[in-house]
A and B are shown apart, each in its own frame.
Chain A
Amino acid sequence: MMTVNSIKNGVVIDHIKAGNAMKLFKYMNLEKTEYRIAMIMNVSSNKKDKKDIIKIENGIDIEYEELVLIDPEITINIIENEKVVKKIKPQLPETVINVIECKNPRCVTSIEKYVDNIFYLSDRENKVYRCKYCDEKHTVGE
C-alpha cells in the first residue's frame, strides 16, 4: 500500500482519467512552479476502473477552467486546513482561444499563423467544439 500524505492547504484535482495526469501536469507547466506536488497514477476508483490524482500544495492561484478541455471528468477540490471547502466541477467554456489547434489541413489557420485558434462549443452534451474558421470538429477527451 502506497501512502501519500494529505495536504493542508491547496488543490486536489481528482477523477482524472488514468493516463491524463501527465497531460494536465504539462498543460499547467507545473514543472516550472515551486509548489509541492504529488501526482498519483492508476489509483483504484469507485466510479472508474482507474484514475489519476494531482495534489498541489498551496497552488490555489492556478487557472483550472481550461483543464476540463483536456479531461472533461475532473473535479477540483479546494483544501483549507486539511478539509475540502469547495468542490468544483468545471464546465466547458463557450469559446476557447489558443488552446485547441485546428487539425484540418484545409483550414486557413494552417497558413495564416498570426490569427488566434478559436473554437466554439457546438454541442455541450457530447462535448463537441468546432473551429470558428472551418467548423472542424474537436471532441473533448478523444
Chain B
Amino acid sequence: MLKGRHLIEPMDFTVEELETIFKTADGIIENPEKYSEVCKNKLLATLFYEPSTRTRFSFESAMLRLGGKVIGFPEPNSSSVAKGESIADTIRTIACYADIAVMRHPKEGAPYIASQYSDIPVINAGDGGHQHPTQTLTDLLTIRKYKGNLKNLKIGVCGDLKFGRTVHSLIKAMSRYENTEIYMISPEELKIPDYIKEEVLIKKGVKYHEAKTIEEAAPELDILYMTRVQRERFFNEEDYIRLKDTYILNKEKIKYSKKDMIILHPLPRVNEIAYEIDDDPRACYFQQAKMGMYVRMALIANLLGVL
C-alpha cells in the first residue's frame, strides 16, 4: 500500500512497491489522457530551500499533467523560512493547505524531519549530497523501459563515483535485482567509497569490477551511466581542472560496445558526453528526463491513492 507514504530514500519502497509505480508509469506513457484528471482538486506543495529548476519543473509538470494544482516557493528567501521558521513548523503549516509536498533542501536529512512531522506524504527532491530518490526511480524506469526488465544487467557507472549520490543510489537499488553486475569506471581520486563496496556490493554478493578507462569496460555493458564531475565537490581548483575532462564519452570509446547498450546521464551535462553521441541511437539521456516526469506522475498518483 503506497497511499499516504513518504519517499525519503530510494530503498524506502520494496521491489514489489516499485513495480507498482512502474506499472502505473507504463499506463501513463501508453495513455496519458486517461490520467489527465486523476489529481483534480489535489494540491502539490513544492518547498525548495535551494533552487533546482529542473527538478521543480519535473514535479510541477507531473502534477499539472495529472490535473492537479501546484503551490510553493522556488528558493527560501521568498518564504517564511527566511524568517527562521523550523522545518517542523513549515511542514505542519503546509500540510494544512496541500495534499502532498516535495522538498529540496541543502541539509542532509531535512526531508526526513519533515516526514516525521507531516500528515501528508513528503517526497525528498534532493537533500544536499545525500539522497535523491526520484532520480533513482527515473533511472530504474528508464532501464526497465529500454532493457525490458531490471534483471541480468551489466551496468557501467562512470565519472565521479566518490561524491555522486545518483550513482550510490543506483548501485544500491540495482543490487536488489537478480544477477546485476556493476562496472565502476573512475579516476583513482574519485573512486566509489569503501562503504558502498563493503555494505552493499560485498554484503549482497553483487559481482563488481573496477576500471580506469571507458574502453576497457564498454564492450561488456548493457547500460553506461555517465555522471558529471562537479566543480563544487572539489576543495582545490587545480584538481578539478585536471580531472574534469578525464572521462569524456565519444564515439571512439564505444566503438566496440553492444548495439543495444543504452547511455544514461542524470543531466545537466557539462562536457562529459560529446555532442556527437546525441545522434547515436544508444543515447537515452533526454528520454530519461521524460521518464523522470512520468515516474513522478506515477509516484504522486500512488502516494495520493487516486488510482
Contacts and interface: CB of A to CB of B under 8 A. Distances in A.
Interface of A: 104, 106-112, 114-115, 122-123, 131-135, 137
Which applies to chain A's interface (DSSP): helix, strand, loop or mixed? loop
Contacts of B195: 137
B88 A106 contact: no
Given A106-B107, A107-B107, A110-B107, A133 B112 contact: yes
A142 to B, nearest CB: 15
Find the residue from B88, B106, B110 having the highest chain A CB count within 10 A: B110
Interface in B73-118: 86-88, 105-110, 112-113, 116
A136 to B, nearest CB: 8
Given A134-B130, A135-B130, A109 B109 contact: yes
Contacts of B87: 108, 112
A114 B89 CA distance: 11
A110 B107 CA distance: 9
B86 A133 contact: no
A108 to B, nearest CB: 4
A107 B88 contact: no
Contacts of A137: 195
B105 A108 contact: yes
A72 to B, nearest CB: 19
B129 A106 contact: yes
Contacts of B112: 108, 132-133
Contacts of A111: 107
Contacts of B219: none
B109 A108 contact: yes
Nearest to B195: A137
B199 interface: yes
B108 A122 contact: no
Interface in B168-187: none
A133 B128 CA distance: 11
Given A122-B199, A134-B130, A135-B130, A108 B88 contact: no
Nearest to B198: A123
